Amino acid sequence: MEITISFVVIVFLIGFIGSFLSGMLGIGGSIIKYPMLLYIPPLFGLAAFSAHEVSGISAVQVFFATIGGVWAYRKGGYLNKSLILYMGVSILLGSLIGGYGSKFMPEASINFVYGVLALLAAGMMFIPKKGVDDIPLDQVSFNKPIAASLAFVVGIGAGIVGAAGAFLLVPIMLVVLKIPTRMTIASSLAITFISSIGSTIGKITTGQVAYIPAIIMIVASLIASPLGAQAGKKINTKILQTTLAVLIALTAVKIWMDILS
């Protein structure tokens, strides 16, 4: 893979945009960066990444993007430690299994898993979420067995595609567990960080990471993710929910068009 100035700029911008949205919306950013890495470099005459390379780069980058987001949300009572513990441990186990198992899957299968996850997430984001933001942050409760079980399943699928699963965690936390939007965003970043440990180890140990593009994306992440988190604190929660729903839906449509073509 030839490393040129245009290659560095394009990969950096993909990382910056994805990580800004990651910090703002409480996602790891792979839901956005996965298709961007697949489709944008060839538009500029650059070599295309394989699905394995994209999932490997995404896994490593998400690890660093979520660190920046969690740091920005560390004050204000947004981080639900019990929720992070139950879902974090479960998703870590699942992502280790998925990240390692993805080595034995063909690229078409990786894209298919990604398409299914994006479709499920998009559907849940359009379900009405009335009243979730009326719950005081210090009075939030949730069903622990359901939270842990769903996080484990999400971890397996997310580990396969090199995502950390936040694009599925966010709608689950909003719709199923009834967690307020800003607490969902902050806590999902922390859970995503834990999840990304598993998928990153899985991708690195199976040789699926292209290190130079990954390093460029990491630098972009550490700059952009905290900026996105600060922006997310100031934006109306309905706008945040709608933005995430539209992004996930558009990504799902694009992935399925390619799978079915």
Amino acid at 105: M
Tokens 């956005």 — which residue? 32
Integer CA distances (angstroms), 121 to 173, 200, 224, in order? 11, 22, 24
Model pLDDT for residues 134-176, shown as the tens digit of each residue? 888 888 999 999 999 999 988 887 777 666 577 788 888 988 9
CB 126 within 8 A of CB 245: yes
Residues 6+ apart with CB under 8 A from 27: 21, 166, 167, 170, 188, 192, 244
**pTM attached to this predicted model:** 0.77
Model pLDDT for residues 194-240, shown as the tens digit of each residue? 877 777 887 788 888 888 988 998 899 889 988 988 898 888 878 88
- pLDDT surpassing 80 at residue 21: yes
Model pLDDT for residues 101-127, shown as the tens digit of each residue? 877 877 777 778 777 877 887 888 888
pLDDT of residue 109: 79
Tokens 């030839």 — which residue? 2
Tokens 């140990």 — which residue? 205
Task: Give the chain's mean pLDDT.
Answer: 83
Residue 27 — very low, low, confident or very high, per pLDDT cuts 50/70/90? confident
Q: Give me 74's structure tokens.
A: 């560390």
pLDDT of residue 28: 64
What is the CB-side half-sphere exposure of residue 97 using CA atoms within 13 A?
13
What is the domain range of residue 211? 5-260
pLDDT of residue 142: 93
Rounded to whole angstroms, the Cα distance separating 129 from 182 reads: 13
Residues 6+ apart with CB under 8 A from 165: 28, 91, 95, 117, 151, 154, 155, 157, 158, 192, 195
Number of domain units in the chain: 1
